[in-house]
Amino acid sequence: MSRTFLGMPATPPRAPYGEGNLRGDAAFPRAAEGELRNEQLRRNLGRATHTIRAKRLAVTGELPDWEQLRDAGSALKTDTMNRLPELLEELERKVTERGGTVHWARDGVEANAIVARLIEATGSDEVIKVKSMATQEIGLNEHLESRGITPYETDLAELIVQLAHDKPSHILVPAIHRNRDEIRQIFLKEIPGVDPSLDAVPAHLAAAARAYLREKFMTTKVAVSGANFGVAETGTLSVVESEGNGRMCLTLPETLITVMGIEKVIPRYQDLEVFLQLLPRSSTGERMNPYTSMWTGVTPGDGPQEFHLVLLDNGRTAALADKVGRAALHCIRCSACLNVCPVYERAGGHAYGSTYPGPIGAVLTPQLAGMHAAKDDPNSSLPYASSLCGACFDACPVKIDIPSLLVELRHQKTEQSGTTPEKLAMKAAAGVMKRPKLYTAAQKAAGLGRVLGGRDGTISHLPPPFSGWSDSRDTPAPPRQSFRAWLASDEGAATLQGAADEGARQRAAAHDDPEEQR
Amino acid sequence: MRIGLFATCLGDTLFPDAVKATAVLLARLGHEVVFPPEQTCCGQMHVNTGYQREPVPLVRGFAEQFGDAAIDAVVMPSGSCAGSVRHQHEIIAERYGDRALRAAVTTVKAKTYELSEFLVDVLGVTDVGAHFPHRVTYHPTCHSLRMLRVGDKPLRLLRAVDGIDLVELPEADSCCGFGGTFAVKNAATSSAMLHDKVGHITGTGADICTAGDSSCLMHIGGGLTRIKAGTRTLHLAQILAATRTAPYAPTEAVR
């Protein structure tokens, strides 16, 4: 090995604190408590997640090579992350060759500034938008409004959320926390010139939104989109969607600005074969999404004549530097993990405080934005917002081992938290458990805890931090005797001998009478 | 077979009847059960809460206690503890252990089993000669289902029990909300999950809800007694250990 000290590269930056939508106001447990009381949300979430689960299982189960597709998706993502720099440069080269312009944004602040400058250069003070996680993540709409530019969300659910001055609560179904009466009220209040007799029939609500949006599509000269995939080999960008609003945004305006997280690059055009099967089946439970748009640079006389691609880092390189955590960058934003997550199903998306909720959000958000940026950073509670049940890992189309990532991030949290009461308790517990004699003595002491039990042998009230537990659960008082004490007793020895003898008798009887064989 | 029984700290201290039943069952099946006396805890709670340095001595202790080549298999009545030994001990040894620990962990991991997979995969039995004339529903715990992939092995064992009335649990594979310290740190969300699980269990009309993990059963049982439900919890091993001559008799407090 070389003796020359080559130096270590500086730690890549996280998404800047206080910018964008990657950090909530409160830690998860407290944020969730408010949401848990929202009966409407609980009902909607329960219904929606169960419906999507069933659809997803049907369309993934019907493919004989589903597991191989997942393996392929996982391998492609691993390969991509291993050579991300060269693939991004290849993408830049190809997009430029085909008449597009590529911009590199270190973080959300830079990306917002670039997009605003590009819009201002067109002379327009409004833009139409197709649903995009990346622009939600960086708070682009808020930034554009501060610069006097009006963004119009064109995805129906995103439009509802925007008109309500609200935040999305689900990656795929952003307005899942609203019912149709609420939506009617929002439309009546916020859509200019809407028919005042509008009722809450879903088709009528959709028609009101359509009439409003059609006019925007026909008159707005600039569009902003995200990207599901960016193909390095050809410079092709792709957006998949269900409503056709994306197709309108991507084809009608004169200028198209696409903001893409750098992890969305894929090596080859052929790789779309894998992802375009994995994504819709995992996401909406459809065999194919209704609209798949692909474009490569600028095509003279057809579609936007100016195309800009903004490549966004915003903490992704920092995540890539973590050899365990980087797997979170494999995510293709299908939301399957949200829909199977028992915690997400109860707490809802807002409790996570981030554009990215659910299991993937709990591992992605702390890596993009950090979880030690301030004292009691709400993001440090996210890796704990899981019972580690593993349903997310099973559902993930690119096999991200989310439970292992959660455990890893929990470790990073405790490593950086200094001395806490919890750490002292954990050290004390390990200190007892690594000394068998002390452990046995502690078991005997625990047996004394029987006095805490009521007549039925259960404990119904515990002090903090266990009071949340005892609010809805009884705890059994410790038994009279530990297992090891029983085993060492005459009773224990006699019982095991008796069991061995009974087994021997059973086997002998079975040997004598094959009819009785068990 | 010479079987090293790992009682688990929770089983040894709070739920000894499940461990007794495991020992009785294995002895009845004709095997020698040994209990390495200095065993304590697998360290799962530490790792799952984010502490990986503290459990190093626990990982080392487990490997030392059960590494003995005279022990053919290590068996425990817990899917999550078996999951910890099989999936987490390597991570700890890799990061904070030495070469000797890494080797020891690999050796002991290869012969570690949760009870139901040991019975079905290693011993090749599903009918263990049990008799249990009660209505039972089975909750597959998350770590046995999705970490160890025990699949329907516990159900195959239960179906072979004489006299049992086994009823299906709706949404069986959804988490009960325990998750170790999750139930303390996120008590409200955990309670909401428990509420739904308890509702499904009582809806079956079963006398007994069984599972392969005392920890999840402690959680579910705590919810059932709180609402004074007619269903109580019992470890899978206790059902499999019960026979006509030595029937199940509740000795622990109803929970």
Task: Quote the CA–CA distance of A101 and A298 in Å, as a whole number.
Answer: 10
Q: List pLDDT tens digits, range A124-142.
A: 999 999 989 999 999 999 9
A342 with B177: Cβ contact below 8 A = yes
Q: How many domains does chain A have?
A: 3
Judged by CB atoms closer than 8 Å, whether chains meet at A29 and B252 is answered as no
Residue A190 lies in a domain: yes
Residue from the list B30, B145, B193 with its beta carbon closest to the beta carbon of A342: B193
Q: What is the pLDDT of residue A3?
A: 60
Pair A224, A260: CB distance under 8 Å:
no
Of A299, A304, A297, nearest to A94 (Cα)? Answer: A297
CB atoms within 10 A of CB A269: 17
Q: Are strands A229-231 and A126-129 parallel, antiparallel or unpaired?
A: unpaired
What's the average model confidence in pLDDT over B106-131?
A: 98
Please, which residues have CB within 8 angstroms of residue A138's CB and are 6 or more apart in sequence? A19, A20, A21, A107, A108, A109, A111, A112, A259, A312, A314
| Closest CA of chain B from A208, distance in Å | 37
Return the pLDDT at B166: 98
- C-alpha distance from A300 to closest chain B C-alpha (Å): 53
Task: Report percent pLDDT > 70 for chain A.
Answer: 97
Of A301, A318, A335, the residue that ends a domain is A318
A387, A206 contact by CB (below 8 A): no
End residue of a domain, out of A263, A288, A318: A318
Q: Which residue of chain B comes nearest to A409, CA vs CA?
A: B50
Question: Per the structure block, which two tokens stand in for B204?
Answer: 């079956």
Helices (H), chain B: 9-13, 16-28, 44-49, 56-66, 79-83, 89-96, 99-109, 115-117, 142, 153-159, 182-185, 187-203, 214-226, 236-241
Chain B residue whose CA is closest to A29? B186
- From B228, which residue of chain A is nearest by alpha-carbon distance? A474
Tokens of B156: 């195959």
Q: Does residue A165 sit in the same domain as residue A135?
A: yes
**Based on the domain organization, do A229 and A147 belong to the same domain?**
yes
Is residue A426 within 8 Å of B51, Cβ to Cβ?
A: yes
Shared domain for A129 and A266, answered yes or no, is: yes
Chain B positions touching A466 (Cβ under 8 A) are 184
**Is there a contact between A496 and B27 if contact means CB atoms under 8 Å apart?**
yes
Q: How confident is the model at residue B253 (pLDDT cuts 50, 70, 90)?
A: very low
Q: Between chains, do B225 and A458 touch, taking CB under 8 Å as contact?
A: yes
Min CA distance, B142 vs chain A (Å)? 5
What's the CATH code of the domain at A240?
A: 3.40.50.10420
- Are A457 and B45 in contact (CB < 8 Å)? no
How much is the ipTM here? 0.96
Contact at CB, A456 and B222, closer than 8 angstroms = no
Q: Are A366 and A382 in contact (CB under 8 A)?
A: yes
What's residue A517's pLDDT? 46
Over residues A64-78, mean pLDDT: 98
How high is the mean pLDDT of chain B?
Answer: 96
Question: Domain spans of chain B?
Answer: 2-122, 135-241
Same domain assignment for residues A439 and A499: no
Q: Which of A346, A430, A469 sits opposite B57 (nearest CB)?
A: A430
The pLDDT assigned to B131 comes to 97
A-facing residues of B in 202-241 (CB < 8 A) are: 218-219, 221-223, 225-226, 241
Q: What integer pLDDT is reported at residue A418 of this predicted model?
A: 87
Residue B95 phi, psi (nearest 5): -85, -45
Grade residue B251 by pLDDT with cuts at 50, 70 and 90: low
Structure confidence at residue A5 as a pLDDT band (50, 70, 90): low
- According to DSSP, residue A30 is labeled H
CATH topology for the B2-122 domain: Glutathione S-transferase Yfyf (Class Pi); Chain A, domain 2 (1.20.1050)
Give the model's pLDDT for residue A40: 78
Interface touch A479/B180, C-beta < 8 Å: no
Q: What share of chain B is helix, strand, coil (3-state, %, to 5)?
A: 50, 10, 40
Greater confidence, A10 or A422?
A422
In a mutational test of the B interface, the residue from A472, A491, A507, A516 whose CB has the highest number of chain B CBs within 10 Å is: A472
Q: Tens digits of per-residue pLDDT, A502-515?
A: 999 989 988 886 65
- Residue A308 falls inside a structural domain: yes
Q: Do residues A282 and A426 both lie within one domain?
A: no
Question: Does position A516 have pLDDT exceeding 60, yes or no?
Answer: no
Asked if A436 and B12 count as a contact pair (C-beta separation under 8 A), the reply is no
Residues A482, B254: C-beta atoms closer than 8 Å: no
Same-domain pairing of A79 and A161: yes
Residue A365 lies inside a defined structural domain of this protein = no
b/e burial code for range A97-132 (CB count within 10 A of at least 16 → b)? ebebbbbebbbbbbbbebbbebbeeeebebbbbbbb
Is B222 within 8 Å of A436 when comparing Cβ atoms? Answer: no
Distance from CA of A107 to the nearest CA of B (A): 29
What is the Cα A487 distance to its own chain's centre?
Answer: 48
To test the contact with chain A by mutation, choose from B6, B13, B38, B178 the residue with the greatest count of A C-beta atoms within 10 A, namely B13
Residue A299 counted as domain residue: yes
- Residue A277 confidence (pLDDT): 97
Q: CA B58 → CA A148, A427, A431, A463, distances in Å? A: 61, 12, 9, 28
Whether A285 contacts A234, CB under 8 Å:
no
Residues A110 and A177: their CA atoms lie apart, in Å, by 32
- In a domain, residue A157? The reply is yes
Q: What is the pLDDT of residues A199-229, one digit of tens each?
A: 999 999 999 999 999 999 999 999 999 999 9
Min Cα–Cα distance to chain A from B105, Å: 16
How close does chain B come to A146, measured CA to CA in Å? 37
What range defines the domain where residue A157 resides?
63-318
Residues of chain A with C-beta less than 8 angstroms from the C-beta of B222 = 458, 473-476
Domain B135-241 has what CATH class?
Answer: alpha beta
Q: What is the pLDDT of residue A518?
A: 45
In the predicted model, what is the mean pLDDT of residues A306-331? 97
With contact defined as beta carbons under 8 Å apart, do A239 and A274 qualify?
Answer: no
Task: Tell me which amino acid residue A35 is.
Answer: E
Tokens of A191: 């859509």
Is 80 exceeded by the pLDDT of residue A21? Answer: yes
Chain B residues with beta carbon closer than 8 angstroms to that of A472: 187, 191, 194-195, 223, 226
- pLDDT reported for residue A173: 79
Q: How confident is the model at residue A457 (pLDDT cuts 50, 70, 90)?
A: confident
Q: Which of residues 75-114 of B touch A (CB under 8 A)?
A: 88
B182/A413 touch (CB, cutoff 8 Å), yes or no: no
Instruction: Report pLDDT for A43.
Output: 84
Q: Does the pLDDT at position A7 exceed 80? A: no
**Which one of B46, B188, B254 has the shortest CB-CB distance to A468?**
B188
What beta strand segments (E) does A269-331 contain? 291-296, 306-312
Mean pLDDT of A370-389: 94
Q: Does B35 touch chain A (CB under 8 A)?
A: yes
Instruction: Please state, in angstroms and rounded to a whole number, the distance separating the CA atoms of residues A261 and A228.
Output: 9
